[in-house]
Amino acid sequence: MKSTLVAATAVALLLLLVFWLWTPDKSRAFLESKYLYAFSDLIDVAGVTLHVRDSGLTTAPAVILIHGFGASLHTWEPWVSALATDHRVIRFDLPGSGLSYPDPTGNYTDARSMQVMVALMDTLGVARASVIGHSIGGRIAWTFAATYPERVDKLVLVSPDGFASPGFEYGKPPHVPGSMKLMRYALPKFMLKMSLKPAYADANVLTDELTGRYFDLLLGEGTREALLARTAQTILVEPVPMLKRIQAPTLLVWGEQDAMIPFANSESYLKAIPTVARVSLNRVGHLPQEEAPTRSLSAVRSFLQ
């Protein structure tokens, strides 16, 4: 009798825990009502519906901004109004991120990202642009600059990904830990905030409003599956040979307190890219565009001009 009661109590507690942590998707209708400016911002690019915002004069030099893992085009919001005074600013959600739909091909490799970038520029009538990328968006940006040098004017890499790190070896699919796979079912806001905190040197920057935006957009229909697929399909190549092919003048923007991709990695980029400069930001973590928008943007605007 006692063992039966213990077992029943354990099952009840487990069910209570599952109910507490269970995090269902948010409907696309809800997310679009909250975060979409206009339905015309959803456009077909290479067979996938992308969320794209195109600001500034179409006759001005174009700059394309690519966000990082789990983020969205909103991460660039603090930069956009200033950049748009003298540039055409194009930012988009990667397939399966933000308000962009999951890629119907199921392909989230860097090779597919190159196809999407070319198709996006062609769809918008942009022959050449400066490209800015953050984190994995940085890896996509420098890969694009090395692969299509004729389409890139200048390159800005904000805390870029690309060199091997624990769990990501060259030439091998990464090990996706079970705890990460569980986010498909359990991603309560307090747990998300705990995972986001290390990205900021100043914890006060991670406000409830900012956390809420990340939380909402990560719960889009198909978003978590797409993020897991992108992680599983990321096979890093030794980056130096490709970095050496970059012809565009390049600026590195890096927070010295970056706990996600170490500031020390910037030395490898300085050695590999032919024409490169670095702006280091003290007391700043992995997201300079959110944590120190004025300081980081000042350097970027000077470089682009």
Residue 261, pLDDT score: 96
Residue 29, pLDDT score: 97
Residue 173, pLDDT score: 87
Non-local CB neighbours of 25 within 8 Å, separated by 6+ positions: 219, 220, 221, 222, 223, 224
Residue 4, pLDDT score: 46
| pLDDT band at residue 10 under the 50/70/90 scheme | very low
* Confidence check: pLDDT of 18 > 80: no
Can you tell me the mean pLDDT for 212-228?
97
Q: What is the 3-state secondary structure (H, E, C) of 65-117?
A: EECCCCCCHHHHHHHHHHHCCCCEEEEECCCCCCCCCCCCCCCCCHHHHHHHH
| pLDDT band at residue 19 under the 50/70/90 scheme | very low
Domain 27-304 has CATH 3.40.50.1820: yes
Domain boundaries along the sequence of the chain: 27-304
pLDDT in tens, 236-270: 999 999 999 999 999 999 999 999 999 999 999 99
pLDDT in tens, 170-184: 998 888 887 788 889
pLDDT in tens, 85-110: 999 999 999 999 999 999 999 999 99
Per the confidence metrics, is the pTM higher than 0.85? yes
